[in-house]
């Protein structure tokens, strides 16, 4: 291995270990977990993402990828060596994910969504009955 065997975000932030990334589960509708640069002022922000789904009620990893900007940047710096590092970092990120919390968050989201839908249906139904009365 060379001397500079660390990854770097295009913003300049050096990332030596998977523990440095920020992990957010915000895009719940997509079942997407975002992997963000540790630098608060980063202009790139999202470096990768993880998609999950369910098989027989069990959470399953569907996809775990780095965005091309992060891959290309590090390939230009490190050449082929970057592939291994990127793979190692992704493995580390996946290990860090608290799946129980992700699943709980997702279930809450679905519950809220169905409540919202119910309210919408109720409002629609009420709207219809008002129209009926006006006739
Ligand atoms: Zn950055």
Cα 105 to ligand 1 centroid, rounded to whole Å: 27
Distance 71 CA to ligand 1 centre (A): 13
Q: Does the pLDDT of residue 20 top 60, yes or no?
A: yes
Please say whether the beta carbons of 21 and 93 come within 8 A. Answer: yes
pLDDT of residue 134: 63
Contact 37, 44 (CB under 8 A): yes
CA 44 to centroid of ligand 1, rounded, Å: 6
131 vs 82, more confident:
82
User: 48 phi and psi, to 5 degrees?
Assistant: -170, 180
pLDDT digits (tens, 9 = 90+) for 101-110: 999 999 999 9
For the cut 90, the answer to whether the pLDDT of residue 126 exceeds it is no
For residue 25, how many other CB atoms are within 10 A of its CB?
Answer: 18
Residue 15, C-beta contacts closer than 8 angstroms, at least 6 positions apart: 6, 7, 8, 9, 21, 37, 38, 89
Pairing of strands 46-55, 58-66: antiparallel
Instruction: For residue 135, name the pLDDT band (cuts at 50, 70, 90).
Output: low
Residue 51 Rama label (left phi>0; alpha psi -120 to 50; beta):
beta
pLDDT at residue 23, rounded to an integer: 97
Q: pTM for the complete prediction?
A: 0.84
Which residues sit with Cβ closer than 5 angstroms to ligand 1, an ion? 9, 11, 13, 37, 39, 42, 44
CA of 49 to the centre of ligand 1 (A): 15
What is the share, in percent, of the chain residues with pLDDT greater than 70? 92
CA distance 37 to 25: 15
Residue 132: its pLDDT value, please? 67
CA of 57 to the centre of ligand 1 (A): 36
- Return d(Cα 9, Cα 38) in angstroms, integer: 9
Q: How many CB atoms lie within 10 A of CB 48?
A: 19
Report the separation in Å between the CA atom of 73 and the middle of ligand 1, taken as the mean of its atom positions: 11
């Amino acid at each position: 291995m060379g001397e500079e065997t660390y990854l770097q975000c295009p913003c300049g932030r050096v990332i030596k270990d998977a523990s440095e990334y920020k992990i957010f589960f915000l895009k719940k509708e997509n079942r997407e977990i975002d992997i963000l640069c540790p630098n608060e002022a980063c202009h790139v922000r999202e470096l990768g993402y993880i998609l999950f789904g369910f098989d027989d009620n069990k959470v399953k990893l569907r996809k775990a990828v780095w965005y091309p900007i992060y891959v290309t940047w590090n390939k230009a710096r490190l050449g082929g060596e970057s592939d291994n590092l990127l793979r190692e970092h992704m493995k580390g990120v996946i290990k860090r994910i608290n799946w129980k919390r992700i699943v709980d968050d997702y279930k809450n989201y679905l519950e809220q969504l169905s409540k919202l839908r119910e309210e919408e249906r109720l409002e629609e139904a009420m709207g219809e009955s008002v129209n009926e009365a006006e006739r």
